[in-house]
Amino acid sequence: MPADPPPPSPESDEIVIRGVTTAGKVFRPSDWAERLCGVMSAFGRERHLEYSPYVMPISSAGIKCVVVSRELQEIESMAFNFLMNFAKDNELEVRPGRGADRENKGAQAAGGSAAAEE
């Protein structure tokens, strides 16, 4: 049975799998996020391997993470369940992803605000 993802919230359409176990230990190997996302990658138009737009590796506060779009659950439930089971089997933290408020802050920062550059 797949792990239960965090409940949907109006602020987030993503789930983040953090590279920290529920016991607080950093998950190894260090490239686990890239490997996990590689399972979901495909060759693009320019014949380069590209990550899926639904599963992307990131680093947050120095911790490797995988961002999973909730759309994947509707588009390909087996792939979504695979990712949730990976997190469950490895006892990784799973939390709601970035919200609309954070995306708005990112757009403001990209607008060239001097405060954002400091």
Boundaries of every domain in the chain: 14-113
Return mean pLDDT, the chain. Answer: 81
DSSP character at residue 28: S
Give residue-wise pLDDT tens across range 31-60: 999 999 999 998 878 888 889 999 999 999
Q: What is the DSSP string of 71-108?
A: HHHHH-HHHHHHHHHHHHHTTEEEEE--BHHHHHHHHH
Fold that domain 14-113 belongs to in CATH:
Alpha-Beta Plaits (3.30.70)
Residue 77 clears pLDDT 80, i.e. is over it: yes
CA-wise closest residue to 34 among 75, 81, 11, 67: 67
DSSP character at residue 26: B
